Structure 1
Amino acid sequence: MAKLGARLQQLRAMREQNRAEGRQETSPRRSHSRDLQPWGSWEPAAEFVWQTKERLPLPELSELRDGLLLEPNQNLEELVFYDFETTGLSGGAGTVIFLAGFASYRAGELEMSRYLLTDYPGEGEFLRRISGHLSPSKTYVSYNGKSFDQKLLQSRLIIHAVPGGMPRQLDLLYPARRLWRDVLDSCSLQQVERGVLGVVRSEDIPGALIPQVYQSFVRGEEYGAMQRVDRHHVQDIVTLARLLAFFENLPSRTELLGYPQELAGLGALLLRAGDPRGEEVLHEALSRGEPRAGRPLLLHYKRTRDYRRLESVLREILEAGVDYLAIVEMAKLLEHRQGDYAAALETIDLLLEGGTELSPSRRRAIEHRRRRLAGKLKGDCKTVDGSQLLSSSFSSCSRTIR
């Protein structure tokens, strides 16, 4: 109820602002959606469907340097930036797309085509207009589109027997979470836009209010508020393109990242893409006190069987505190590569002594490994100097599992 009350209060505030700005005089209320009149560059495309086309300068995309998310020699004209506004945020059976935008890059500009459904009977024609922008050869760039927008569109296309789909997706939400989930309050597009790109919107409308504004618009109300939804939608698409440009330039512009958590995310993305620069970035994050930067490194060195570097990064992680994965991997290294069962057993004991919190499954696995190591020690009491070194190195470890 508190959330509903807050939304109603925001809607009332928007209405007062529209009245104060005189918008009700230039955009009077209509009694029915058939009587709604387009504003700005919008024009009727079919019954209950409007369309508009715009060109916006975007030099950022012409200055891509290194590549992080795109394939080498990616043809930028094969990218389509898209965003939908919907009647609900949950994607349920009754949720409908009412505002759809597609933008492509051409000679330093974004060519944007957008479609507005002014009432529900026009959904079939609305979707047929959208289907003209769908192609299996294009790469569709979105923010949370892979799990929400794409699936919603596919379900509505099926309902209306309209062919089409967007099989090739590049969803920027996932790399954004990699870099900023521990830095920003949230990874919403508006938070990333403000905190990373430095863009502050004026007179923007909260996304949670957009479905309510649309329902009022269909009834011939909230004309001014709907124009704010329109501007919000354009800005979302422009931000998508600018954010992709930011990501693509990051490998050579790491000075743009002020937090070690961001470096750890970037390094992990680079390693996943097979870019060796990821190692350097992750080592820098690790040296700046971000122990989680070590995990992608240890998995990388384990996969490439670089055991010397694996041991080095494991020790670096464990100098900062007790880490479950690092301890298990160190114990494996000591047992299987060095044959030092005593040091491996001592490493495992770091997780079992001092009240360290472990999940039941992890505790069972560690206790099983300890029993096996203890059994090996009964038959082979081999101890090497590394055991003593290990003990002294970890004596000050925290007992908190990361």
Structure 2
Amino acid sequence: MPEAAQPPEARALARFLTADPDDRPRLAPRVAEAVGADTLERIVRATIARVGDLVTVADGPDGLIVTGSKGRVRAWAQVAPDGELTGLLLEGARYTPARRRRRGPVLLTWAVCLILVASWTVLTLWTAADRTAWLGDMATLAAFYVIVEGWGAPAQQPRLPRRLVEAGGVAAVASAWRLPGLPAGHGTLGLAGGLALLAGAVWLVAAARLHRWKAPLSQPLLFPLEGTWYVVQGGGRALNHHARIPEQRGALDLVALGPYGTRTGSGHDLTAYAAYGRPVRSPCDGRVVSAADTFHDQKPGEIRYQPPYGNHVFLDTGREIVKLAHLRPGSVTVTEGDTVRRGQLLGEVGNTGNTTEPHLHIHAEREGIGLDLEFTGVSGRLHRGRRIRARRQ
């Protein structure tokens, strides 16, 4: 694409990266003020060392791509109408194009699960030669369901394929009518193996769901959403992809549900998602230490490179920092320095930042370490697969 046809962000970033080092603070004064001119220059030099002599800055599906003689990196930039660079993020690793996410494999996964359940039910449970063999085979199938239902978050998937797989379990249990007419049997090895698989599955899921970091909040938070919500990330390491990031280890990702999993309609537009545009209220009293409202929503299923929290509100309670992220552009009602009260409207659920579909990310941290979340009126552990029903307080 010719340079003139590139978006203004790409042109401004190219001008900034190729400028004399002494001129860069002038081209991006707000960025230089936010991080410091020396820090900004170190980041730029590291980027140039990574990519080599600059060739182009071009817009692509994954964001702005800075290309040089030695490689490429992703970038994000914001510009003012006069061309001033007002926001900048440069990825600290060379860019490798990601494979595009496709929605087809989701249905394929459920189809494979259904085939496995049907085959196991017909070829083992309905043809078991004795009761011992049936019990061992049923324990193995039960372990499969514990993993599918307990390790995953099946309610976020379309209802029909999920129900078909669950109906397979009912068909398997129905085979128990044969038991009175079967001999006891002596295949205890198969029974022991099935029971061991079931016990292992139950232990793994229970341990991940019951996990606590033993780092409590100073006091419970108000659940920031109204209605019924579903946890798609939360719990121990095996159930929560945030756990690898120290400050986010206790985080939750919350979606709303509809007939099509997390969607109310068959399309994949933002408005088809049950969570999109739902109000987000302050979970605590506190002071706003960071707020953003100008990031664009991501297209569902794709991620363009931008600051990971997207539009957000960070609150300082005086004892911890509470962070709410991925808010809808134009919906944030507060700015840095504001004092907010528990229950005050902060914004709406969106799809900005590092996200593939509309949801609310929330976590609390103290000195950079994530805390165990707890909400007033919400009992029990918070983990992937948990439904939370909340009313406005």
Q: Which has the higher helix share?
A: 1
Q: Which has the higher strand share?
A: 2
TM-score by length of 2: 0.20
TM-score by length of 1: 0.19
